[in-house]
Amino acid sequence: MKLRANQYLCDLPVYQPGRPIDEVARELGLKAAEIIKLASNENPHGPSPLAVEAMKRAVPDVHRYPDGSSFDLRRAVAKMHGLDAAQIVFGNGSNELIELVGHAFLKPGDEMIISQYAFAIYEIVGRLFQAKIVEVPAKNYGHNFERMLDMVKPSTRVMFVANPNNPTGTACRREELRELILTVPDHVLLGLDEAYQDFLAEPLDSAAFIRPGQKPGRDNLLILRTFSKAHGLAGIRIGYGLARLQVAEVLERVRQPFNANALAQAAAAAALNDNAHIRKTFIQNQEGRARLEAEFRRLALDFVPSFGNFVLVNVGDGQAIFDGLLRKGVIVRPMGGYKLPAFIRVSVGTGVENERFITELLKLNLSSTHKKKNT
């Protein structure tokens, strides 16, 4: 072949998304309606109804380009967080913001610090920009902030921290997070990924550290938020970053002009303040998560207590259990890609979905699984 793609792309890890329902239906000859997907931490109760109405209203105008400044959505997000409108950068999902960080802050040889079991996209983006990835061993499946800070060097440009973390579901105490935000050296951008913030009972108001006039403030903090999880808008791809002006301005510079599409802007603005939907999602997630964890406990399966809308559980042979569940029309996520081959990650579903998952799990051979020692 005459064409030559960039050599470093050859060994770039490939992101493995949750299997789509239609694809599994085609492959197994099942009806899509018989399949449940608990693989991508989506909202099992659907999108915010207010967002659906807003999208319907926006449809007749989709022959127009979207508002490249996301004016209405920007104003709504700014108000919610008590920030200036210029502090917000929108993305085609918050994943795009992670890539924008690469464009703006990484060049070959720069270092990026992440934790073991961090969200896979951080490493993929880091390697896309030929950064050196420094992976710090996890502590009880969570982040070890002390050691992550120890690894900071003059060549460190970026540190990514998801809280709660995906795929482990761990979260740190508010005090620890506050300490981290205040301690990360000025030359390191801290990408604080709060994709699962809405599932925390008492989250830290991290935006306080970038709020105008508020002290102590941080110029190197970038908070990432998404509408894909609690707001139920994963399919239309919209997320945002919050930062002080210097960071927001460089990210604005590297984004494409219409990266937040018109339907997404309309839906997100409506979903943002749909407190009823967010509240219901929160409560039902707590119930469903408790149900799953209680069952894992009953089965003596080792799991990581979760602060998100999913649970990481040791089933012995994650791939085999994933395959077995898939054949029954239950899609979960195998964790081999995260070097956790004994585990699956299951998203909290509706009550009916959770029971279906449990029923099918019980029919599978869990005998070979690593069980919790009875101490």
Ligand X SMILES: *Cc1c(COP(=O)(O)O)cnc(C)c1O
* Residue numbers at the binding site for ligand X (CB under 6 A): 41, 93-95, 119, 162, 166, 193, 195, 226, 228-229, 234, 239
> Please, what is the minimum distance in Å from the beta carbon of residue 323 to ligand X?
23
CB atoms < 10 A from the CB of 35, how many? Answer: 20
Residue whose tokens read 């609690």 = 230
Whichever of 220 and 226 has its CB closer to ligand X, that residue is 226
The least distance separating ligand X from the CB of residue 184, rounded to whole angstroms, comes to: 18
CB 100, min distance to ligand X, A: 12
Q: Whole-angstrom Cα distance, residue 296 to residue 342? A: 14
Query: 156 or 228: whose CB is closer to ligand X?
Result: 228
Side-chain-side CA neighbours of residue 283 (13 Å): 6
Q: Are 113 and 138 in contact (CB under 8 A)?
A: no
- Give 30 or 234: the residue with its C-beta nearer to ligand X: 234
Of the candidates 173, 110, 187, the one whose C-alpha atom is nearest the C-alpha of residue 145 is 173
Q: Which is nearer to ligand X, 345 or 356 (CB)?
A: 345
Nearest CB to ligand X, comparing residues 269 and 364? 269
Between 76 and 364, CB nearer to ligand X: 76
Tokens of 214: 């508020």
Question: In the complex, what is the shortest distance from the CB of residue 119 to ligand X, in angstroms, rounded to a whole number?
Answer: 4
For 326-364, give the DSSP string.
HHTTEE-EE-GGGT-TTEEEEE---HHHHHHHHHHHHHS
Minimum distance between the CB of residue 85 and ligand X, rounded to whole angstroms? 21
Dihedral pair phi/psi, residue 313, rounded to 5°: -135, 140
Give Cα separations from 164 to 119, 168, 176, 235, 248 (angstroms): 11, 8, 13, 22, 23
Identify the CA nearest to 38 among candidates 301, 289, 271, 366: 289
Name the minimum Å distance from CB 122 to ligand X.
9
Q: Left (φ > 0), alpha (ψ -120 to 50) or beta: where does 190 sit?
A: beta
Least distance (Å) between residue 30 CB and ligand X: 26
46 burial class (0-12, 13-18, 19+ CB within 10 angstroms)?
Answer: middle
Closest contact distance (angstroms) between CB of 195 and ligand X is 4
Nearer to ligand X, 112 or 364 (CB): 112
- Going by C-alpha positions, the residue among 179, 173, 164 that lies closest to residue 216 is 179
Between 117 and 129, whose beta carbon lies closer to ligand X? 117
